[in-house]
């Protein structure tokens, strides 16, 4: 019996859980470990250690191992892919057939198209594009922004996920947010900034453009590359994360030393004073255009004077 119990322990250590029906020869050893309290049932027929049984990822694994058609969705899928910091109190899953609820789980009757299912080991979950769209009723565009920022989803992928899941309640809002994301914002503040620029008819910019400065790779929030103008958007994360704050200042210094002009706008400025923001942007564009056109104009004038002397 001790040897069989050790085999059960090895399976749990390796896989995180043990599914009793997969190991009929170890049923007695598993039940004995449950009786002694070393293992506990996560779901009927699925056991793990007492220490691990309450973990979100272990409970998610127990479900997909027990239910062959279960696909993790919503906050659970987000935590396992592109948004590990997202809070979730229950494991969310889509099932083709209704199931009785279990403590710590929430099920919805739904079939996820195979193209939109991501498999990682024994886990099955919705792909980030669909997950971000699923989260729209709860977090608005934040899920889409997070998926785009982490590069786990693309605009094409978001549009494809919408195409494959038609007629769902809330798709109108999802479609509007995907359209509003066409310049790929990485935060709610960037989304507002992009909207201001588009509505004002200001062109010539690209969002989150990569730029290497002295061996360091930076992503410029909004870059007017032709005139070396950058708009830096300080969203809510900048107020809470000191590392983000420090990195942004280092990036700004590096850009200025390379001849870029940098304007910074906060979430409050974009929300409460959009007219002032647009005024400053237009002034900066005018100044930068003069700066970059002046040497060419001077060279043309010098060439004209030289020709007149010949």
Whole-prediction pTM value?
0.83
* H helix or E strand, kind and range, residue 97: none
In the chain the first and final C-alpha atoms are separated, in Å, by: 107
Same domain, 36 and 61: no
128-to-2, 63, 83 alpha-carbon distances in Å: 44, 20, 9
303, pLDDT greater than 70 = no
How far is it, in rounded angstroms, from Cα 65 to Cα 310?
A: 88
**Residue ending a domain, choose from 157, 182, 207:** 182
DSSP line for 34-49 = HHTTSEEEEETTEEEE
305 inside domain: no
Same domain, 96 and 162: yes
Same domain, 68 and 176: yes
Q: Tell me the β-bridge partners of 217.
A: 212
* Average pLDDT of the segment spanning 281-296: 87
Phi and psi dihedrals of 91, rounded to 5?
-90, 125
- Looking up residue 277, the CATH number of its domain turns out to be 3.40.960.10
Same domain, 107 and 25: no
- Report how many domains make up the chain: 3
**Residue ending a domain, choose from 163, 182, 201:** 182
Same domain, 178 and 194: no
How far is it, in rounded angstroms, from Cα 102 to Cα 109?
A: 15
Same domain, 66 and 165: yes
* Average pLDDT of the segment spanning 250-276: 94
289 inside domain: yes
Q: What does the pLDDT read at residue 305? A: 40
Q: What does the pLDDT read at residue 235? A: 77
Structural domain containing residue 224 = 188-300
275 inside domain: yes
* Average pLDDT of the segment spanning 9-29: 93
147, pLDDT greater than 80 = yes
8 inside domain: yes
210 inside domain: yes
Contact 133, 82 (CB under 8 A): no
Same domain, 213 and 293: yes
* Average pLDDT of the segment spanning 288-302: 66
* Average pLDDT of the segment spanning 111-131: 96
300, pLDDT greater than 80 = no
Q: 152-184 pLDDT, tens per residue?
A: 999 999 999 999 999 999 999 999 999 999 999
Q: 218-253 pLDDT, tens per residue?
A: 999 999 999 999 999 997 554 555 666 677 778 899
Q: 91-116 pLDDT, tens per residue?
A: 999 999 867 668 899 999 999 999 99
Q: Minimal CA–CA distance to 5: which of 44, 46, 39?
A: 39
114 inside domain: yes
Can you point out the beta strands (E) in 52-201?
A: 71-72, 91-95, 105-109, 117-120, 123-126
187, pLDDT greater than 60 = yes
309 inside domain: no
Same domain, 159 and 195: no
How far is it, in rounded angstroms, from Cα 185 to Cα 172?
A: 20
117, pLDDT greater than 70 = yes
Q: What does the pLDDT read at residue 242? A: 60
Using 50, 70 and 90 to split pLDDT, how confident is the model at 301? very low
Same domain, 212 and 295: yes
Phi and psi dihedrals of 66, rounded to 5?
-80, -35
Contact 76, 134 (CB under 8 A): no
Same domain, 83 and 170: yes
**Residue ending a domain, choose from 156, 182, 208:** 182
Q: What does the pLDDT read at residue 297? A: 46
Same domain, 30 and 72: no
306 inside domain: no
Same domain, 193 and 162: no
């Amino acid at each position: 019996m001790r040897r069989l119990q050790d085999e059960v322990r090895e399976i749990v250590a390796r896989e995180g859980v043990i599914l009793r029906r997969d190991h009929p020869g170890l049923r007695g050893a598993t039940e004995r470990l449950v009786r002694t309290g070393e293992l506990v049932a996560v779901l009927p027929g699925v056991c793990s250690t007492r220490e691990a049984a309450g973990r979100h990822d272990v409970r998610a694994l127990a479900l997909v191992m027990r239910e062959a058609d279960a696909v993790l969705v919503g906050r659970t899928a987000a935590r396992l892919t592109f948004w590990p910091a997202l809070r979730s109190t229950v494991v969310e899953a889509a099932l083709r057939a209704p199931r009785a609820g279990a403590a710590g789980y929430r099920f919805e009757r739904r079939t996820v198209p195979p193209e939109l299912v991501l498999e990682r080991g024994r886990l099955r979950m919705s792909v980030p594009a669909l997950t971000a769209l699923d989260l729209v009723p709860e977090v608005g565009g934040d899920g889409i922004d997070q998926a785009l920022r982490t590069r786990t989803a693309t605009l094409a992928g978001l549009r494809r996920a919408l195409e494959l899941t038609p007629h769902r309640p809330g798709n109108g809002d999802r479609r509007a947010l995907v359209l509003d994301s066409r310049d790929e914002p990485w935060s709610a503040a960037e989304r507002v900034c992009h909207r201001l620029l588009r509505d004002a008819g200001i062109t010539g910019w690209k969002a989150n453009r990569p730029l290497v400065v002295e061996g360091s790779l930076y992503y410029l929030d909004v870059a007017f590359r032709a005139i070396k103008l950058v708009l830096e958007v300080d969203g809510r994360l900048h107020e809470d994360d000191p590392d983000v704050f420090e990195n942004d200042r280092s990036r700004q210094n590096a850009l200025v030393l390379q001849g870029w002009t940098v304007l910074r706008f906060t979430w409050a400025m974009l929300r409460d004073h959009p007219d002032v923001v647009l005024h400053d942007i237009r002034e900066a564009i005018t100044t930068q255009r003069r700066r970059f056109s002046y040497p060419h104009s001077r060279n043309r004038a010098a060439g004209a004077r030289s020709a007149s002397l010949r």
